[in-house]
Amino acid sequence: MISNVIIYNSPDDDLRPCGHAYPLIKEHGIKWRSTHQISLTSVNSHIKDDELMSKNEVVGTLGDKVTMPCEYKSTNMWYIIQWQKEVNGSDPVTIVTLPRSFSTEDPQVGAQWNKDLNPDFRNRLGTHIEYNEKGVKFHLEFYSFTCDDTGVYTCILTGNTQMMAATKLGIQAPPSRPAIHNDLFIVDQENNTLTLECEASVGLPPATLKWYQHFPDGRGFLSVDNNEREQEIDISDKCKPLAMSRLDVTVTRPISGSVFRCVVHSPLLEEDTSLYDEVKVKIQVSSPDGSSSIASSSFIIVTALCLLKYSIWLFV
């Protein structure tokens, strides 16, 4: 009788169910509390009690640990399990192999890694191996998960029969706080039009930048219709797409003094979490003689400095 044996090829043994799956042959309605609906993919062979289970889709968070499960339920004493990855439509690349032979009484057979793997990729991989009398779990784990790790992976079982189950590995990344290039916009006369610009790293899937306006009369923040301008996204860094949202504002007396807020909307954010930046827009106030208050203030300051300098010169 084989007792429960767990082997870790990495220091972290925390398993996180995530993603969702549809069945290849038979569906098991197992669900976890998660942002993604989950069910296990089960492949049955013609041999009684042989079953290979995995997930159809797993979604990991950028920089976190991600686990892709594969479980073989059987009492067979001979088999080989492999994890492979599809690469650009070419032949799949074998990542790691777990052999098991009835010729040995030692159930703790370790994983054998493909020595030709890219070192950066290999150094972020590990396995979770767990033996028991009903079969074996052979999970593939990723550490410091990146966009380059995404793709289609297949768990393949070769024994008395051959079974395989594919898992699509996707990624999500939280957005960052947006930034408006100015804290205050002052126009020199009414009905002038200015363009507000808001930029943010919008994460994956890309978040949406929306504008809100707070009027001087205290009506609170109201959504601004910005259909004329589409959000621009720069994907030169596919893991951290940048978005720019522009808003054209014609500054009138009723609008002067308004605060415009740029807010990030993402399904990855909690309802009470708000990422935003603000800018105030106003018309420059003019003095009775028609000159601006800013210009008048500057003149007064310069005059005062000149008088002070002249007084010092007299006493010297």
DSSP 173: B
* Alpha-carbon span 84 to 82, nearest angstrom: 6
Position 43 scores a pLDDT of 54
For 140, residues 6+ apart whose C-beta sits below 8 A from its C-beta are 67, 68, 70, 83, 95, 96, 125, 127, 153, 155
Q: Residue 140 corresponds to which amino acid?
A: L
pTM of the model: 0.70
For 291, residues 6+ apart whose C-beta sits below 8 A from its C-beta are none
My answer on whether omega of the bond before 205 falls inside 30° of 0, hence cis, is yes
Fold agreement between 5-172 and 179-283: yes
Q: Phi and psi for 8 in degrees, rounded to 5?
A: -120, 125
DSSP 230: P
CATH number for the domain running over 5-172? 2.60.40.10
DSSP 226: -
Instruction: Specify burial of residue 122 (Cβ count, 10 A radius: 0-12, 13-18, 19+).
Output: middle
Contact (CB, 8 A) for 52 and 155? yes
Q: Output the six-digit token pair for 291.
A: 């000159």
Cα maximum dimension of the chain: 110
C-beta atoms surrounding 200 within 10 Å: 25
Contact (CB, 8 A) for 24 and 4? no
CATH number for the domain running over 179-283? 2.60.40.10
- Domain boundaries in the chain? 5-172, 179-283
Q: Phi and psi for 83 in degrees, rounded to 5?
A: -105, 130
Position 31 scores a pLDDT of 24
Low-confidence ranges of the chain (pLDDT < 70): 1-49, 101-109, 272, 286-316
Position 228 scores a pLDDT of 72
Contact (CB, 8 A) for 212 and 224? yes
Query: Left, alpha or beta for 285 (phi > 0: left; psi -120 to 50: alpha)?
Result: beta
